[in-house]
Amino acid sequence: MKFMIVGKANAETEAGALPSQELVDNMHAYNESLTRAGVLLAGEGLYPSSHGAQIAYSGGKASVIDGPFAEAKELIAGFWLIQVKSREEAIEWALRVPVPPGHDGIGLDVWRVFDASDVPDESLPAQEREREEALRRRLRADDPPA
């Protein structure tokens, strides 16, 4: 099962403040532990929302809203994509994310990622399943070697 651990932003991350060297070291250690366990698929920090955009749809038309998104209640500061055996294991990994003392308001969400392999074979026509699998093979082939 794939899960995404989503790290929430706070005033510091939205201001573009760089983390302390201690936090950077702790994050590297955490990422290394995910890698050693063989569960890390991807993980990245994100720039503040001032570097982003939102796409809003109304009446069948898209409009672009440039950041920052001060009115947004929950912004994202980063993520990890992991592959584990259960929801409980994903939560165990999320609980190990190093958050420095005094950083109240930072939170994490743990979301299960929907994958084509989650759809029963009889629900997805063979041609559609093959297209999905071919796309995933191509994406894996495009990944740079570790």
pTM: 0.77
Q: Give residue 132's pLDDT band: very low, low, confident or very high (50, 70, 90).
A: confident
Instruction: Tell me the backbone φ, ψ of residue 136, rounded to 5 degrees.
Output: -65, -40
Give 125's pLDDT tier (boundaries 50, 70, 90).
Answer: confident
Tokens 């994509």 sit at which residue?
A: 81
CB contact at 8 A, 98 and 30 = yes
Nearest to 41 by CA among 98, 90, 77, 99: 90
Beta bridge partners of 53: 66
| pLDDT tens figures, 37-88 | 999 999 999 999 999 999 999 999 999 999 888 766 788 989 999 999 999 9
Does the pLDDT of residue 13 top 80, yes or no?
yes
Condensed to tens digits (0 to 9), the pLDDT of residues 89-122 reads 999 999 999 987 766 666 899 999 987 667 776 6
CA distance 109 to 44: 15
- Which amino acid type is present at position 86? S
